[in-house]
Amino acid sequence: MLSVDHRNPETHHDITRYKRDFADGTKFEKNTYITWRFPNGQRNDRLFIVVNEMRPQLLIPRQNNLTYSWSNDARSWNTVPASGISSTLETLNDEWNRRNVSISLPRLARFFRVNWPDCEWDTQAQRATCRYYYSPTINHFCAANSWALERANVRTCYPRGELNPAPVNPTPKYCSAQMINDYWDFRLNGNAQNLLGAYSSADGSMSRVQLHYPKQGLGQGMRALNVNRPDAYWVESLQTTNVCHDASRFTHLHLEIQARAGFSANVELEAGPGAGRCNERGGPRAQVNLASYAQFTSSEPTKQKIVIPLSDFAGVDPRHLRSIVINNFVNPSHGWVYLDNVAFTGAASPAPIRATPNQATYRFSLLAPNRRLDFGCANPAAHFNNTPAALKFSATVSTPDTHFDIVLRTSAAPGCARGVRETVVSSRDFTRFAEDDAEAPFEFVVPVPADRHIVSMEVEDIWPLGASVVVRDVRLGLAGCVEAADAVRPKYTPKAYPVGGVQRAFTDIFPAPVVG
């Protein structure tokens, strides 16, 4: 059985084509759909979908008319007839209903698709008819195989009633960076709030800034901005009280912008008038122009990673920051501009402690001794200043469903001369190396005791017969963050679609932004 919460797409590798932002009510003008490939070779014929839709008196005709289809090769699609669909309706509030949809397919299928109705273009008004309409949003999806005596309904798919589990943010948390806004959590958009809990929004002239464009990969999104009106600006506040934001351990301001040729803007840092006074205006501010750091030259939307040294904001004390403001936009194309991954980067972070050797291949064997990877009696507490540490490594397996034990040797004695203790952890506590994911390396993060020195690690008891495990980049590092290859320019690119996914070229959200 498969059960998916669409606000946690990163945790479900069955999503093969992610065409829209399902929780923010936006869609493409035409050809909006999502396709699931059921994971690990599964085939299913019973489906249960929870859809939020605007109540009939508030919507444009036919805009709630989702269509469903199935396939076994992702090329030839069969529409589900009305006789195979039933639903019940619940009232959520004055504007929204929740529709619980049950679907029966005539045969087992490998792929399933939901299509949204196209949005018609009003030639006289020169706008899309559903411009101000929030299209149906899929919150949950569950599939089952009736031949295996499975059922797909509220009770079987969500036995604990967890229709609204907490979202899981897929954006890497780098040790050298602090994310201000990654525009991922769809619910934050409506609250005009960033990851600091502070104000994140625009002046009223930047129409439809609530649009949220799905990236070409799982999980994250970008904020769509209409920058074509005079005095338009975007602000990320850095404080919620009088206490200022201290960014002194960072060296750069990082942001990513997708735009067309000729685009530029100013970025401004504003400080409070003094320590403990960041609820007041009037402090020092300084601005730089993006053209000094990135050039947009393509007629097609192009994404640029922009990093600005904090020292370039002359006269602004990074210990007492109040806000980041983007304004004075120049946008010759008059198209949409997309903002993403506003962060402070470049902080110093303790280097990881690497094992010797740093990688090894382990195979199923009853005779050959396993290879120990030595840490030389390392003291994580001293190295990481008593910050929680973890054993980290990536593992690739030769066969789906491989599992093994991770053996960690520690000692409390000086020099680790005695009292060596073995701690054994199963790989199944972290991942199952399912069929769809078996070829991809999995990053293990195993907590280590705070009061003990680390002697060595190794892999034991590999199953099934003939399986092998390759471990790489074995190290001790900070438990709560990821070491960036480049501390100033960390990689925030979303993970690619799983095997079988087909990406679509970038297309602007409709309609064209208003100019003037």
| Mean pLDDT, the chain, whole residue set | 80
Domain ranges of the chain: 33-157, 178-345, 360-478
pLDDT of residue 53: 82
pLDDT of residue 502: 35
> Of the given ranges (118-122, 249-253, 379-383), which has the lowest mean pLDDT?
118-122
Residue 124, number of CB atoms within 10 A of its CB:
5
pLDDT of residue 391: 98
Decide if 342 contacts 235 (C-beta within 8 A). Answer: no
Cα-based distances in Å from 491 to 224, 255, 484, 485: 21, 12, 8, 8
Is residue 498 predicted with pLDDT exceeding 60? no
pTM score: 0.75
Q: Which residue, 199, 177, 179, 178, is CA-closest to 188?
A: 199
| pLDDT tens digit sequence for 31-80 | 677 777 777 778 899 998 888 787 776 666 677 889 999 999 888 999 99
Decide if 322 contacts 283 (C-beta within 8 A). Answer: yes
pLDDT band with cut points at 50, 70 and 90 for residue 127:
low
**Domain spanning 178-345 has what CATH number?**
2.60.120.430
Contacts of 129 (CB under 8 A, 6+ apart): 60, 119, 120, 121, 122
3-class secondary structure, 148: helix
Q: Strand pairing partners for 223?
A: 212, 339
Q: At CA 469, angle to CA 468 and CA 472, rounded to 5?
A: 150
Place of tokens 């093994």: 404
pLDDT of residue 59: 63
What DSSP designation does 186 have? Answer: H
Q: Can you say how many angstroms the Cα of residue 87 is from the centroid of all Cα atoms in its chain?
A: 31
> Of the given ranges (11-20, 32-41, 134-143), which has the lowest mean pLDDT?
11-20
Reduced 3-state DSSP string for 398-443: CCCCCEEEEEEEEECCHHHCCCCEEEEEEHHHCCCCCHHHCCCCEE
